[in-house]
Amino acid sequence: MLKRFLFLILILPILITCKSEFLKLKQVESTKQVVLKMEYNKKLDKDQISTINFPIEFIVENNSYKKEKIEKLVYLYQPFNEYSQNQTANLYVYKKNKFESLNLFFDDVYIDKGGKKFLIYTKHTVLDTLNFNEDYFAPFINKMRKNKTDSLLMGTLPEFKQKHSKLTQSLLSDDEVIILFNKKVEEVKYNTGEKDNLLLQIRKPIKY
């Protein structure tokens, strides 16, 4: 089911010819910090950076008076392959003056007129950083060991990029946020005779 859903994401730009005049996706600068996380690798018998979590904040704007329900919200890691398609991200929605954890499998989210703010914390993993040797991350690992913690705050995304531009570009280049709404645009029929409803989508490359 997951592979089929991801396949639909990839073909949507080809099959959908109309764009929403009312729904827009706008990335905004976040005050949240980039987080490095460390874990002990038993196989290699050493500590290593397990994930790098980037805060990606954005607003979904709705310029109509009709509420629109979000069906799926996906952070698409690039390059898209068998490994990256299984990567996840933590999703939050802004409610009552704070970000609250959001799971679209259980929580219904409607975009009213005016819009709604969201936060994604990515989960870029150690496999994403293979172009950077162990010496690059050694100071961060040593600092976490010294502080007896498994995570390290690295400043906002602009601050992190200023100090680690090549790493930021390597991880975030061509990544996208994709939102599917519960709004039928087109019906597609497969060779097997099965049918699917193609839903309205908006997508936005990550700015960094």
* C-alpha distances in Å from residue 161, one per residue of 13, 89, 155, 176: 30, 20, 9, 18
Threshold 0.75, pTM exceeds: yes
Its domain, for residue 142, covers: 2-205
Query: Closest Cα to residue 56, out of 72, 77, 37, 39?
Result: 77
For 150, residues 6+ apart whose C-beta sits below 8 A from its C-beta are 37, 38, 39, 144
| Domain tally, the chain | 1
User: Where are the extended beta strands (E) located within the chain?
Assistant: 23-28, 35-41, 46-53, 55-62, 68-76, 89-95, 98-101, 110-111, 116-122, 124-125, 151-153, 176-189, 195-205
**pLDDT values of the chain reduced to their tens digit, one per residue, 208 residues:** 433 344 344 444 434 434 567 899 999 999 999 999 999 999 989 999 999 999 999 999 999 889 999 999 999 999 887 777 778 999 999 998 999 999 998 899 999 988 999 999 999 997 888 888 889 999 999 999 999 999 999 999 999 999 999 999 999 999 999 999 988 777 777 778 787 777 888 999 999 9
